[in-house]
Structure 1
Amino acid sequence: MTTEKAIVTVRLVRSFEHCNFRPVVFRNVELHQTVKEFLAFVRAEILSASGLPPPFKKFEYDTMKIIHQPHGAKTNELIMSLEDDDKLLLKENDTLKAAGVGNETDVAFFRKEDYEKFKANPKTVF
């Protein structure tokens, strides 16, 4: 099996209502690893990342969703689109490549419970 590597930007979303997020860029991401393996890798990396405030390091992220793929249309939403969950939410047993992640893909990493609550009532507070 050939190794395919990519640059993936992960947007750590702490609050949908307050549009509180931080992007973190990961280079040389192996696209043949499972989403579950990538979730564990990202969690470990953000714990030791310099420059990230402690609230972002300690947050309990559990779900990833594709925000943007290269050469695709971008959403007008501040954090991410609330549509197409069936296609864009990453399933843990899929490989990143099978889930649609490629080079220069942006994904959001968030707590699914918070996302469902925001999706039911999508109001932002500034």
Structure 2
Amino acid sequence: MSAGAGSHSGDMSAEVTITVRLVRSFEYRNFKPVVFQHVPPELRVGDFIQRVLTDIETRPGLPPPFRKHQYDAMKIIHQAHGAKTNDLVMSLDDQDKPLLKESETLREAGITNETELAFFRKADYEAFKANPQMAW
């Protein structure tokens, strides 16, 4: 079988690798990174979210609490060759980076190869922003 998933007219170089941090808890710094390869940048953010949700239901090695969490928002947390945040989960200093819009393509949202995204529940993020306390 030589035809791989998503191979069309040799433009595999156009596809990107994205790391998605599944954030279950901001205050407990509870997250798991999951890597998605061969993602077409023309995919809409909403479709990528569905792909991630479908994938994590059956991904081996992912604990059930991460599979069942109610994720509903994505945000860029790091891009290749950029400065990394010192925060373990997600920086609150990057308010200039909006949540991703589901109607945009990944490319329009600024996602390039080796971008890291946080995937979380928006209500949890808003609560943490309002009171950014770390719990141990």
Whole-angstrom distance in 1 between the partners of 2:113 and 2:123: 28
Match of 1:96 among 96, 106, 114: 106
What does residue 60 of structure 2 align with? 50
Partner AA of 1:50 in structure 2? P
1:37 equivalent to 2:55? Answer: no
**2:98 and 2:83 mapped to 1: Cα distance?**
14
Quote the residue 2:94 is aligned against. 84
Structure number with the higher helix fraction is: 1
CA distance in 2, matches of 1:32, 1:89: 18
Which runs of 5 or more structure 1 residues have no equivalent in the other structure? none
The residue matched to 1:101 in structure 2 has which SS? coil
Q: Distance in 1 between matches of 2:101 and 2:114?
A: 19
TM-score (norm 1): 0.94
Q: Does the residue aligned with 1:102 lie in a helix, a strand or coil? A: coil
2:16 pairs with 1:6: yes
Give the SS at the match of 2:82. Answer: coil
Identical aligned pairs, as a percentage?
Answer: 58
2:38 aligned with 1:23, yes or no? no
RMSD (Å) for aligned C-alpha atoms: 1.3
Higher gyration radius (CA) = 2
Shift of 1:93: 0.6
Cα drift, residue 81 of structure 1: 1.2
TM-score after normalising by structure 2: 0.88
User: Within 1, Cα distance between the matches of 2:95 and 2:45?
Assistant: 16
String of CA shifts for 1:58-83, please: whole Å, max 9, x gaps: 10100000010011011111111113
